[in-house]
């Protein structure tokens, strides 16, 4: 243990520097800004200024004025639909990669193919849906060209569905990654044991594979919901008049409407929802692990 | 797994369809960047490179591109430096508030960017820092630090701690140990994380939107152009960006992959 003590004594001074910068940075540029945002959410607006105050008026307004709470509810609904759709589409893909693909090389390659779009400009992938779904866009013109329809369908773009499609598309890889990891970690002998005991493959899937991959599903779904809830690009590019989301509201509060305290209150609500979900998902994950030994 | 059952066949079909779905927009983007029609619709009318010429000769776009590269470079440099220090601190030492510190650094990764952007905007206003590209750089570096910390920490955990003890026993000072033992071990993780940070910063919108002043970055330029209408020029820029990001990603995956144990 001599080495350890030497290490501890020798590194005392540089260690202080090692801590000071990152901890100071995280404190000054993360904790303080979030704190200031929460503080400003209690301020009052006296046009065109904001004055320090401590009152719950902004929150009251958010939850009593239908102009605001309908948007929050709609955003939650869309984020939930996106989470559901991305999970239902992402899970089979992860299952396919882990259990159907036989060779390691092909699996690695296909997994790469799932990841690559994730890192290809998120803005451009969202924008392309605008060009695909538009009235004279790729989808309508292709359908017309193929003779399926004679009139372009305007139903595709600028509504809640176009937003669900676009966001689902964006978040599928966010589900595939953790589910893939969870499926890969299932001990193969558990599956064999289940089969040896005469359980049919679908039963094995329902009673062994699905419960053991629940942790992956939970973490994928949590990230998807959180990020979809506050998405900044899709509501502006493919959303329509019936699809105002939290992001649009925030943009206007910090832009034309110039009401930072109200905007800060709304952003604080988003922050609290995300933190609550992260906490819940961590707890569920831990509980699941204990139960499964 | 033996012969595929009906539901597994259905599942495989669905999986391949989803995989195709992931590439549909990218393919559409690339195809129409070469199509010589101002509207994005089928049938295709002919091949052209005009959209590429148009964006390469548009000074507004080139300035925005330069701003983006400038921001991404310095944001990456900052987040790599501080993120690596944070990872080392977390790896080697227990300190009060360690869990809080970890959670706070990782929070921006699951928090919508606009909350981080708004929080920083409020903060900058209070301390009197004007909205500018510098403000954006600090914002990106802070938001992306979590990526560096998680990637570097993952590599550090796999490192054999006896190397550090051996180095100290042989009389190396901590800094010397860092440069000659630790750094070579984590270098590829750092480089992989750097490429990721660069790509994400280059593409970032919400934080940039709230923190930038009069200077626009490329994504902000595209974002505001798109609110007015669509031009195939954007497809050409997009295709160029896609090509570069795919290249960077392949590089970073190669670097982040665990090397086989010797």
Residues A10 and A142 in one domain: no
pLDDT digit string (tens) for B43-53? Answer: 677 777 778 88
What CATH number has the domain bearing residue B180?
Answer: 1.10.3720.10
Residue B119 has pLDDT above 90, yes or no: yes
Nearest by Cα to B230 from A101, A40, A130: A130
Banded pLDDT at A1 (limits 50, 70, 90): very low
Residue B260 has pLDDT above 60, yes or no: no
Banded pLDDT at A168 (limits 50, 70, 90): very high
Residue A51 lies in a domain: no
CB contact under 8 A, B8 and A201: yes
| Total number of domains in chain A | 2
Given this model, what pLDDT does residue A90 score? 94
Asked if A237 reaches chain B (Cβ–Cβ under 8 Å), the answer is yes
What CATH number has the domain bearing residue A206?
Answer: 1.10.3720.10
Which pair of tokens denotes residue B19?
A: 């995989």
- Cβ contacts of A229 on chain B, cutoff 8 Å: 112
pLDDT digit string (tens) for B9-24? Answer: 888 888 889 999 999 8
pLDDT digit string (tens) for A92-117? Answer: 999 999 988 888 889 988 998 898 88
List residues bridging with A50 in a β-sheet: A45
Residues A9 and A136 in one domain: no
Residues A95 and A209 in one domain: yes
Residues A111 and A4 in one domain: no
Task: Domain of residue B176: give its range.
Answer: 26-34+46-94+130-256
Residue A83 lies in a domain: yes
Asked if A15 reaches chain B (Cβ–Cβ under 8 Å), the answer is yes
In this predicted model, which residue has the larger pLDDT, A125 or B6? A125
Banded pLDDT at B138 (limits 50, 70, 90): very high
Nearest-angstrom CA–CA distance, A278 and A261:
25
Residue B137 has pLDDT above 90, yes or no: yes
Residue A71 has pLDDT above 80, yes or no: yes
Closest partner residue to A232 among B164, B173, B205, by Cβ?
Answer: B205
Nearest-angstrom CA–CA distance, B83 and B151:
10
CB contact under 8 A, A14 and B174: yes
Nearest-angstrom CA–CA distance, A148 and A76:
35
Residue A50 lies in a domain: no
Residue B10 lies in a domain: no
CB pairs under 8 A between A and B: 259
Given this model, what pLDDT does residue A6 score? 45
3-state class (DSSP) for residue B47: strand
Nearest by Cα to A129 from A168, A160, A155, A166: A166
Banded pLDDT at A201 (limits 50, 70, 90): confident
- Please, what sign has the CA dihedral across residues B15, B18, B23, B28? positive
> How close B72 gets to chain A, by Cα (Å)?
14
CB contact under 8 A, A3 and B169: yes
Nearest-angstrom CA–CA distance, B84 and B102:
13
Residues 66 to 105 of A: which have CB under 8 A from any B CB?
Answer: 89-90, 92-93, 95-97, 99-100, 102
Task: Domain of residue A15: give its range.
Answer: 1-40
Q: What is the mean pLDDT of chain A?
A: 84
* Per-residue buried b or exposed e for A199-225, using 16+ beta carbons within 10 Å of the residue's own CB: bebeebbeebbeebbebbbbbbbbbbb
Given this model, what pLDDT does residue A7 score? 47
Question: Above pLDDT 90, what percent of chain B?
Answer: 28
List residues bridging with B47 in a β-sheet: B35
Residues A15 and A80 in one domain: no
Residues 156 to 175 of A: which have CB under 8 A from any B CB?
Answer: 169, 172-173
How large is the angle between the packed helices B133-158 and B59-92, nearest 10 degrees?
Answer: 40
Question: Above pLDDT 90, what percent of chain A?
Answer: 34
B interface test, pick of A76, A95, A102, A128 with most B CB neighbours within 10 Å: A128
Nearest-angstrom CA–CA distance, B200 and B141:
11
Residues A118 and A29 in one domain: no
Residue A46 lies in a domain: no
What chain B residue is nearest to A37 in terms of C-alpha separation?
B119
Asked if A14 reaches chain B (Cβ–Cβ under 8 Å), the answer is yes
**Residues B253 and B77 sit within 8 Å (Cβ to Cβ):** no
In this predicted model, which residue has the larger pLDDT, A10 or A267? A267
3-state class (DSSP) for residue B134: helix
Residue A208 has pLDDT above 60, yes or no: yes
Q: What is the ipTM of this complex?
A: 0.85
Residue B117 lies in a domain: no
What chain B residue is nearest to A126 in terms of C-alpha separation?
B25
Q: What share of chain B is helix, strand, coil (3-state, %, to 5)?
A: 80, 0, 20
- Cβ contacts of B45 on chain A, cutoff 8 Å: none
Residue A45 lies in a domain: no
| Total number of domains in chain B | 1
Given this model, what pLDDT does residue A236 score? 84
CB contact under 8 A, A10 and B168: yes
Residues A82 and A182 in one domain: yes
3-state class (DSSP) for residue B68: helix
What chain A residue is nearest to B116 in terms of C-alpha separation?
A34
Residue A31 lies in a domain: yes
- Cβ contacts of B227 on chain A, cutoff 8 Å: 236-237
Residue B122 lies in a domain: no
Residue B4 lies in a domain: no
């Amino acid at each position: 243990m001599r080495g350890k003590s030497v290490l501890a004594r020798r590194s005392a001074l540089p260690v202080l520097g090692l801590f000071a910068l990152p901890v100071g940075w995280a404190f000054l540029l993360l904790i303080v800004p979030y704190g200031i945002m929460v503080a400003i959410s209690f301020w009052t607006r006296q046009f065109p200024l904001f004055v320090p105050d401590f009152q719950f008026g902004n929150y009251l307004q958010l939850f009593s004025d239908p102009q605001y709470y309908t948007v929050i509810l709609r955003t939650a609904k869309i984020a939930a639909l996106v989470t559901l759709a991305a999970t239902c589409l992402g899970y089979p893909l992860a299952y396919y990669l882990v259990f159907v693909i036989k060779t390691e090389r092909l699996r690695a390659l296909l997994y790469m193919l799932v990841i690559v779009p994730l890192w290809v400009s998120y803005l451009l992938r969202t924008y392309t849906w605008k060009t695909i779904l538009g009235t004279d866009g790729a989808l309508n013109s292709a359908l017309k060209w193929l003779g399926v329809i004679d009139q372009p369908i305007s139903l595709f773009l600028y509504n809640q569905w176009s937003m669900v499609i676009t966001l689902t598309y964006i978040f599928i890889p966010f589900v595939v990654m953790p589910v893939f990891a969870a499926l890969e970690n299932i001990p193969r002998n558990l599956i064999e044991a289940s089969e040896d005991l005469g359980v049919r493959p679908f039963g094995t899937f329902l009673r062994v594979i699905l419960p053991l991959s629940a942790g992956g599903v939970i973490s994928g779904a949590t990230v998807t919901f959180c990020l979809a809830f506050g998405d900044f690009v899709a509501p502006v590019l493919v959303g329509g008049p019936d699809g105002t989301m939290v992001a649009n509201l925030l943009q206007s509060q910090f832009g034309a409407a110039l009401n930072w305290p109200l905007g800060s209150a709304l952003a604080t609500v988003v922050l609290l929802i995300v933190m609550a979900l992260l906490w819940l998902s961590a707890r569920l994950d831990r509980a699941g692990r204990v139960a499964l030994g | 797994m033996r012969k595929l059952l009906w539901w597994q066949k259905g599942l495989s079909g669905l999986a391949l369809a989803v995989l195709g779905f992931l590439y549909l927009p990218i393919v559409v983007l690339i195809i129409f960047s070469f199509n010589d029609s101002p509207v994005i619709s089928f049938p295709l009318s002919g091949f052209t490179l005009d959209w590429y010429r148009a964006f390469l000769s548009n000074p507004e776009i080139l300035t925005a591109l330069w701003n983006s590269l400038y921001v991404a470079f310095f944001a990456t440099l900052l987040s790599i430096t501080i993120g690596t220090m944070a990872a080392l601190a977390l790896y080697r030492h227990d300190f009060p508030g360690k869990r809080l510190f970890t959670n706070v650094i990782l929070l921006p990764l699951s928090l919508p960017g606009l909350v981080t952007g708004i929080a920083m905007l409020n903060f900058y206003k209070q301390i009197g820092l004007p909205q500018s590209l510098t403000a954006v750089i600090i914002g990106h570096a802070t938001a992306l630090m979590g990526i560096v910390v998680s990637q570097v920490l993952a590599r550090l955990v796999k490192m054999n701690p006896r190397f550090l003890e051996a180095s100290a026993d042989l009389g190396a000072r901590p800094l010397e140990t860092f440069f000659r033992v630790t750094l070579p071990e984590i270098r590829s993780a750092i480089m992989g994380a750097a490429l990721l940070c660069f790509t994400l910063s280059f593409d970032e919108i919400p934080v940039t939107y709230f923190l930038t002043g009069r200077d626009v970055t490329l994504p902000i330029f595209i974002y505001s152009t798109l609110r007015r209408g669509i031009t195939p020029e954007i497809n050409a820029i997009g295709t160029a960006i896609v090509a570069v990001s795919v290249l960077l990603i392949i590089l970073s995956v190669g670097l982040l992959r665990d090397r086989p144990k010797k």
